[in-house]
Structures are given as C-alpha cells and as structure tokens.
Chains A and B, each alone.
Chain A
Amino acid sequence: MKKYIIELAKDNLRIDGRGFMELRKPISVETGVAKKAEGSALVTIGDTKVLVGVKLGVGTPFPDTPNKGALIVNMEATRLSHPDFDSGPPPPKIIEMARIIDRGIRETKMIDLEKLCIKEGESVWMVFIDIYPLNHAGNLIDAGALGALAALKTARMPKLGDDGRPTEELSSKKLLITKEVLTLTFIKINDTIVVDPCIEEEEVMDARITVSTSGADRINALQKSGKGGFTEDEVIKIIENSFKIRGMLKKALSDVK
C-alpha cells in the first residue's frame, strides 16, 4: 500500500483522487444532534464521522486555579467506528489526539475559563467535551476539533437551581467563545506532504503535524507526531498552507450560530 501511495504521489495523485492540499468532501457540521447535551455537533469530513457532545456541570475548582472553570476533553476509541479499536481505556494515540484538541481550546483561550467561575474557590462550571468517532476513516483530530468548536458555539448554560446545582432547564445564555481556532492536520509520506489524510494514508505515514490557527496570522497550537521528522522548510510551508486552506473549514461552520 505504501509503495502504491508513493508511486501515485510521483504523478501528483492521491489514493482518493484529491490534490495534495485538498480536503475531503463533503465537509459538514450539524449541531444540536444530541438533545440531552448542552451542545453537540456531528461532523462529517469525507467518510469520517465524529459526534461531539458538551456537558456543563458544576464542580469545585482545582486548588491551583480557584477562580477558573475546568475544561476536560476526552476522546474514545469507539469500537463501532473501526475494526482495529479494542476494548479498554483509550490507547496512547487517542489520548494524544484528545490532548491536541484540548490544547487547541485551552491554550488559545478560546473559552475564557475565568468567566466560568461561580464562586471563587467553591464552585465553577466544568466543561466536558467528549468526542466519539462514529466512523473512523482518517483524520479524527480535525473532525474532532471542528466538532468541539461547533458544539461549544451552540452550547447553552443550564439554569442553576436554588441548591446551586444545574437543573435540566437550559437558559438562553451561551458560552463565550473568544476566537475561532481551526485545526488542520498534514502528514508526510516519503517526501510528499498532504492535508487531511484518509485512513489508508494515515496508516503508512512517516510523520504528522497538526496546526491550529486563528485569524490570518496567529498560530495557537502545533503538534508533530509519528516516527519521522520534518525539515524547517517543510514546517514553514505547512503553516503557510494551513492559513490558505483554513477558509474551507470556516465555511463549514458558517451555519453554526
């Protein structure tokens, strides 16, 4: 398979007929798909489907950040989504993906966690983002990150009861999203770099890099993964490209309000 993919690359071709810097189609984001969740999104990128839910709870803050809400991002290796996913806790590569998505939200201050403080040192909002792949056909990171953004944008805060616990009733108040951080993943096979790998490409990749950007010039998160490496020029080219391509993801979000 790897040889075949490399041979194709010599003629500027990819296994599914795309250009190197072309995302799979269709890209769609449907929100409000899980009614019990405060926010949810079903993301489709080509054959990859991911369901993301946001739950908001009230808990005690971490001792080192008494005035900040908590953000917890988790991804499961849903067994129904791929034959190779086993039972048990998520494997390291899935944990890595969840943490890449987590950082794309946390470090970029996409949500202002200080605004999620209810009473300093006592109670804060806890934002749980759970990502469940429904069909793993490659690039779960970008689908998960897009879904997390859409789910957060549409999430509504529950009303608090007299006891300070959240009730089933949702208020009209939304989470405050300060910026739109978009995430794109590139992989290297031999010397070819392609965006949004499908699963066949992912399985034979040498190295991977995930880039989270906001606006026209800000880089917010990066993660290189996979056993191989990138040269300095390759990294710079990849980031240039992610600024060029990110509009396609933004378009998919245009209906998400």
Chain B
Amino acid sequence: MNQSKKAVKRPDGRKVDEIRKVSCKAGVVKNADGSAEFIIGNTTAIAAVYGPRELYPKFKQDPSRALLRCKYNLMSFSVSDRKRPAPSRRDIELGLVIKNALSQLIFLEKYPKLAIDVFIEISQADAGTRCAGICAASLALADAGIQMRELAGSIAAGALGDLVVLDLTKEEEDYPEGATDLPITYLPKQGLITSLQLDGDISFAGFKKALKMGINKCKELVKLQEEALKINYLKGDKK
C-alpha cells in the first residue's frame, strides 16, 4: 500500500490538494433572475434561478416557506456517449442532492408560498459536475438577490488507491487500482456539511484527511464566488 503511495502521480501533474483551474462568472443568462457559470478544468456548469415566483400547482404552496426546486441535467453531448435528453435516475437523484445542499443557504421562510427554481445544465462533463453545479447555483442564487445566510462551496475530494487528493478528473475516477470519490458541500459560516457522498473504498483515517482537505477548499471556493459577485455588480448591469 505504501508503495503505491509513492508511485501514484496525478496524470496532469497536479499536487494532491490542487484543484483544476477554476473560473466563475455571475449573470450569464439574461432572462433569469440570477445566473452563473462555473468552470473547473473541463467541467462546465451553468445555473439559472427563477424566482421567488408564484408556485403552481397551488396545493404545493407552503404558507410558512418557499419551495426550493432544483433540476440537474447533463446535456446530451456533455459526455463521451450521447446521453438521452430525458432525465435519468441519476439526474433525479442529483436534483434532490443539490436541493438538500442548498436549502440551508436561503432564508426560505422569508418567501412564504413562493417557489424558487434552480436549473443546472452541465455542458461539459469531466467529473465533479454536481460540485460545479452547486457552486454555480450558489452564485446564481446570490446573483438573484435572494436573501441568503451565506454562499456554499462544493468540491469532490477523494483518493487514488490510498493517496488522498482533491478534484478528481474522469481519468482519475477510472484509476485501475480503485478510486474513491467524496463530493462535499460546505457552508463555512454555519460550519455545516450539507452534501456528502462517497463511493469507493477508503480507510477511516484517509476519509478524515480527505474531508478536512475538501472543507478547506470549499472555503476558498466561496471566496472566489464573492469575487465574481463583486465583478458583476461593479459592472452595474444589475440594478
């Protein structure tokens, strides 16, 4: 095991805790109340927020809070083999995971009976799409001027064999000796992990290390989102 630790080198030469190049931008969909694009390496996520707006069908209205609805979709050409456009079971699950990751961000109780719709489209997928989607959605919600507690950072930690790393690519996920994928969403001000998934095989010690590494990176990603928000507001096209 120790031997593999030395031998493992990341295919793109990154350090273990180094993520791919990130760029994020707010205000990319004009029609939307808020929107953002989040690019990490070869993964691109676009998120648009509509709302708070009236919720139909009416029986779904909640007099105490807004209903947050999230749709995650992989565009059909975003992956090697064309994906059918209809939502897959994976898309449905991730929609729910993303909704759960974002619920604690928003003061939903300030918008009774209304709906807040978040639509996430992945136009290029090279692993880490849910995390890119969550970062894009967090920024888009802020861009929509919705009252929020804070912004959310999200990144996939993981391991190649026993080597703990951040932000795996598709190539790394298919690591022949077994890769572990650990996507994390973290809200720094509240100190809460609001999404956490793991697939693979990792020791408890490795997990603790990966979790810590991921949380620290989430904090940095929140700062990046703050920068992107400022840039968009200074442009003055959102008033």
Contact = CB atoms under 8 A, between A and B. Distances in A.
Q: Of residues B81, B103, B197, B212, which shows the largest number of chain A Cβ atoms within 10 Å of its Cβ?
A: B197
B215 interface: yes
Nearest to B68: A227
Given A95-B93, A222-B196, A229 B187 contact: yes
A232 B93 contact: no
B81 A64 contact: yes
A224 B197 CA distance: 6
Interface stretch (B94-102, B114-122, B226-234): B94-102
B196 A223 contact: yes
A44 to B, nearest CB: 27
A107 B182 CA distance: 12
A99 interface: yes
A95 B211 contact: no
A48 interface: no
Interface string B173-186: 00000100010000
Interface in A59-108: 63-64, 92-93, 95-96, 98-99, 103, 107-108
B201 interface: yes
A24 B96 CA distance: 28
Nearest to B195: A224
Contacts of B191: 231-232
A107 B200 contact: yes
B12 interface: no
Contacts of B208: 236
Contacts of A63: 81
A230 B192 contact: yes
B205 to A, nearest CB: 8
Interface in B103-133: 103-104
A221 B180 CA distance: 9
A178 to B, nearest CB: 11
B197 A99 contact: no
Contacts of A214: 201
A229 B134 CA distance: 15
Nearest to A181: B201
B67 to A, nearest CB: 12
Q: Of residues B192, B193, B211, which shows the largest number of chain A Cβ atoms within 10 Å of its Cβ?
A: B193
Given A95-B89, A99-B90, A225-B100, A230 B193 contact: yes
A224 B100 contact: yes
A229 B202 contact: no
Given A63-B81, A221-B199, A229 B89 contact: no
A229 B197 CA distance: 13
Nearest to A106: B199
A225 B97 contact: yes
Interface string B6-43: 00000000000000000000000000000000000000
A62 B232 CA distance: 45
A220 B195 CA distance: 16
Contacts of B96: 92-93, 96, 225
Nearest to A243: B204
28 contacts: A64-B80, A92-B92, A95-B89, A95-B93, A96-B96, A99-B89, A107-B200, A108-B200, A109-B178, A109-B201, A207-B194, A214-B201, A218-B203, A219-B198, A220-B199, A220-B202, A222-B182, A222-B197, A223-B97, A223-B196, A223-B198, A224-B196, A227-B99, A227-B104, A230-B196, A235-B196, A236-B211, A239-B207
Interface of A: 63-64, 92-93, 95-96, 98-99, 103, 107-109, 207, 209, 214, 217-232, 235-236, 239-240, 243
Interface of B: 80-81, 89-90, 92-93, 95-97, 99-100, 103-104, 178, 182, 187, 190-205, 207-208, 211-212, 215
